[in-house]
Chains A and B, each alone.
Chain A
Amino acid sequence: MSDPVDHVARTAERGAPAPEAGARPTLAELKERKARSRQRVERGGEVMTVSMGPQHPSMHGVYRAELDLDGELIVTVRPEIGNLHRGVEKLAEARTYHQIIPLTDRLDYISGFAMNHGFCEAVEKLMEAEVPPRGRYIRTIASELCRIANHILWLGVHIMDLGTQTFFCICFRDREYVLDLLEMLTGARLTHSFARIGGVAKDLPDGFDHRCRKVIDFLPRRVAEYERIVKHNRIYYKRAKGVGIFTSEDCYAWRVTGPPLRSAGVARDLRKDEPYAAYDEVEFDVAVEYNADVYDRFLVRMKEIRESCKIIRQCLDNLPDGPFLAPDFAHAMPLKKNVLRNPSAMIQDFVHVFRGPQAPKGEVYRAIEVPKGEMGVYIRSEGGAKPARVRFTTPSFYHGQVVPAMVEGEMIADMVAIFASIDVVLGDCDR
């Protein structure tokens, strides 16, 4: 095995303050902690099979895990997914690139625009379509709003899984403000379909700038309020600290990406490693923690909300003017107001709606950082308007697969906390 990259060096130059070496548990220590919790399983005893089935309050939709229990300890887990499978990839092969966009935001329906964004980045890489600066900035703003909405909802459901009800309402109160912004920008609360090949569908509505700044200003205070409630809460500390440890080596092997990977001490964020949209013109830190447990995943996500607010503020400050949708005939749709006026835009609109933009022959794989992890879109096109094969490599598919590796040897109550901490959404997982 090639020696793992020295994460501390990489994290240090990323600007995230690496704690002094003493506090940071080494990989060996994390492994030892995990081994201790596994050996409790070896003690035989008859096994009770329980189905933590499709309809279960903490199974985030319809994920089914068949548990073999030795008392409260989980001996083996047999996951079963596919209850929400609707063949998006088969459907995408029968549609042009523009028609696939509405399919993508029903993949991970909690952060709709992030999925559109991923797909459009991949198509633009295939067609070598250029996105004007303003389009890139608006995309960054909308993506970060989706990230905030996703993390707030995750927090509400995660704490509700651990047994409280009021926190769910606190989080949904704040999430409504972010959804109002998204609704103002894209017209829909969840299923945005706001990205287009070559930019975004509409410009920022007037008044959006002011409202967005107001929301961005009070969100960090809200995050501080969440942390004040949850971070030092005796019960949460006991149920989250040192639970569900998943070291960075395991994360690589099981393709666990996003907050769970960053909580294992790896400063891996595609917005920094392979910058897309306006992320290379924006200053932000990668949220990193080092103990790889449920508690640190909470901390990582709270940091990410703060970073997202910082990104949106910078995007709003230096938002370039100019077109928000690429004016090139071959790939992008024309602006609606032009279509009714001059004939060339009308022809362009007609061509794009009926025949769709033509893609060159070839295959492309583009990965972006969606709120739940790393989503890769693979498109193979034989030329023409319809892709020959589309594959959405969504993070929840692999996070759903990693549950047995993470949970065996833990208690049932811990499984609820761990499953919630890796943030699996079944629409994303089953495609």
Chain B
Amino acid sequence: MGVIDRPFRGATDSQVRSLLAGGVQFDRGGVGGGDSGPAEETLGGAVRLPGGIAMPVQIERVLGFGRSFSFWPLLFGLACCAIEMMALGGSRFDMSRFGMEAMRASPRQADGMIVAGWCSVKMAPRVVRLYEQIPDPKWVLAMGSCAISGNIWDTYNIVQGVDSLIPVDVYVPGCPPRPEALWQGLEMIRERIKQSRHAYDGLRRIPARETLTAGEAAAPAKPAAQAGVGR
């Protein structure tokens, strides 16, 4: 079976949709477990110096501390939660007090992504593509019950929870959650930035299902997995 790394590295749109067809599995796979592949193949995870050695924790703490004060989310609102996200950007709940002033329109300048609203199967490949185009390190906040679990939209065209597409750091429930709830979610993301833990750290690569034909296997033929340092 081809091996699909999480998130879909280089998966084309049809692959994302075919994977969605059967519903996608990924288990948290405990910290440190799993065979994360050679350095350049790993997805984020331990910050590696050129020699492949994991960076000492102190430097990572300093970097995390530096990053934590300006988490710039991607300007990406789907549905009603986006209106509450705009209210958080407005003048009463002003999130620019916490350094999240600039909602960057292009993923290249964003530090992370707030998925605000239900994600339909038509939108799924685009959410995955936007997530992948955000430079590391990145964090994802799933805002609203629709992004977390599909909420009442138990229908044919809705992805039941964005965490079957992209690894999610913080879940903010509510329909729509009040701006204060989203603000607390962003504070929790700040904590994760300080500890520089990402949602994709502990993820082992998950085997794809057989529906993926060999030709379409996203990940190139893998060299024998070396014993890398899993985080």
Interface residues of A (CB under 8 A from B): 53-57, 61-62, 82-87, 90-91, 102-103, 106, 109-110, 153, 157, 168-170, 172-173, 175-176, 179, 189-191, 426-427, 430
Contacts and interface: CB of A to CB of B under 8 A. Distances in A.
Interface centre among A54, A170, A173 (most CB of B within 10 A): A54
Contacts of A173: 90-92
Contacts of A430: 120
A116 B209 CA distance: 43
Nearest to B77: A61
Given A62-B123, A109-B83, A191-B80, A86 B90 contact: no
Contacts of B9: none
B82 interface: yes
Contacts of B130: 55
B230 to A, nearest CB: 33
B120 A190 contact: no
Contact of B152 (A103, A172, A190): A103
A93 to B, nearest CB: 11
The prevalent SS among residues of B at the interface is loop
27 contacts: A53-B126, A55-B76, A55-B130, A57-B75, A57-B105, A62-B123, A83-B78, A83-B120, A84-B117, A84-B123, A85-B120, A85-B122, A86-B157, A87-B157, A90-B156, A102-B152, A106-B79, A168-B86, A169-B91, A170-B91, A172-B91, A172-B92, A176-B87, A179-B87, A189-B87, A190-B176, A426-B79
Nearest to B126: A54
Contacts of A427: 79-80
Contacts of A91: 152-155
A424 to B, nearest CB: 14
Nearest to A102: B152
Contacts of B91: 169-170, 172-173, 176
Interface residues of B, number: 35
B79 A61 contact: yes
A57 B86 CA distance: 12
6 cross-chain pairs, A with B, having the tightest CB-CB distances, nearest first: A172-B90, A109-B80, A87-B155, A169-B91, A86-B153, A173-B91
Interface of B: 74-80, 82-84, 86-87, 89-92, 94, 105, 117-118, 120, 122-123, 126, 130, 152-158, 175-176, 178
Nearest to A173: B91
Contacts of A87: 153, 155-158
A172 B86 contact: yes
A153 B92 CA distance: 14
A86 B118 contact: yes
B126 A83 contact: yes
Contacts of B126: 53-55, 83
Contact of A90 (B87, B89, B155): B155
Nearest to A176: B92
A173 B90 CA distance: 7
Nearest to A55: B76
B78 A61 contact: yes
A16 to B, nearest CB: 31
A390 to B, nearest CB: 14
A189 B83 CA distance: 10
Given A84-B118, A86-B157, A191-B176, A176 B152 contact: no
A113 B77 CA distance: 21
B77 A169 contact: no
A426 B123 CA distance: 13
Contacts of B74: 55
A153 B120 CA distance: 25
Given A86-B153, A169-B94, 7 more contacts: A82-B120, A83-B120, A109-B80, A172-B89, A173-B91, A176-B91, A191-B175
A65 B145 CA distance: 28
A58 to B, nearest CB: 9
B83 A153 contact: yes
Contacts of B87: 172, 175-176, 179, 189
Contacts of A175: 87, 90
A106 B80 contact: yes
A82 B90 contact: no
Contacts of A86: 118, 120, 153, 155, 157-158
Given A86-B155, A191-B175, A109 B79 contact: yes
Contacts of B77: 61
B81 to A, nearest CB: 9
A424 B89 CA distance: 21
Given A54-B123, A55-B130, A91-B153, A189 B118 contact: no
